[in-house]
Structure 1
Amino acid sequence: MKVNLVTKYEDSLPLQLIRARDIAMEYFRPVLASNDLTEQQWRVMRVLDTKGEIDFTTLSRESCILSPSLTGIINRLEKLGYVEKKKCEHDGRKSYIHLTAKAESLVERLRPQIEEQYVALKERIGEDRYSELSNLLNELIASKH
């Protein structure tokens, strides 16, 4: 028996995820914009704040930013004094990136403001539903492996 599934474009999971991301980012964009940061710059800084110094390839994977785009973001962050790059002693093709003290101070200053936005987002849909959504998304992500 052949099953014919026709999904309306409004019910397309990728489209729903993009729309949900845009709604979620409405909470965080004002905080970032008021500090002259792009979403991608903040994402890179958060990964580095969490992971510490890491290589470029790992940073690309962890931040979900493709290498060509990440190169530009890292260069801009470096010009702003937020990150430093260093070449691997054993492999000159490999670079490591870490936050500067200036960036660590900024992340520390922004952390409470970002946390307030998470609280507001959770209030919008409810703590339980937020957790449920997060768990479902993590299950989907984990299913790749």
Structure 2
Amino acid sequence: MYFCIVIKAILHKTFSVTLALLVLFSTVSFTIEKHYCGDVLVDVAVFTEAEKCGMEAMEMLQKKTCCKDEVDVVKGQDQLKFSSFDDLEFEKVQFLTAFLHTYIHGFESLPKETIPHKDYSPPNLVTDIQVLDQVFLI
């Protein structure tokens, strides 16, 4: 029984962290910069500027450029939807109110029963009457 409780707690924490990371990474934006020298990929950088191959000095002397830079921007979600209780429709509010009222008041505990003979010990048996008379409940 204890094992199930531990597994449930571990799964609960794992899913909570996973969902928090999912929300975090879905809202983060970042850039990927690539530097090509001719058709050869020289460097790829995330969040920073890609290193150049050193051919920029040669390109200043010549008009023709052989290097090119590509910048890929990965946009995160920047508009999150926030809902409040006031935005719900009347039918949904009515259902939630009825559900919560039933859930809260539906599990009332029963009154504690008193056992009148709990402090008395059973009588001492000299002989077992059932075995003596050969009467058994089946």
What TM bracket, shorter-length normalisation? under 0.3
- Greater share of strand residues, 1 or 2? 2
- Greater share of helix residues, 1 or 2? 1
TM-score where L is the length of structure 2? 0.22
Instruction: Return the structure number with greater relative CO, CA threshold 8 A, min gap 6.
Output: 1
Q: Look at both structures and tell me which one has the larger radius of gyration over its CA atoms.
A: 2
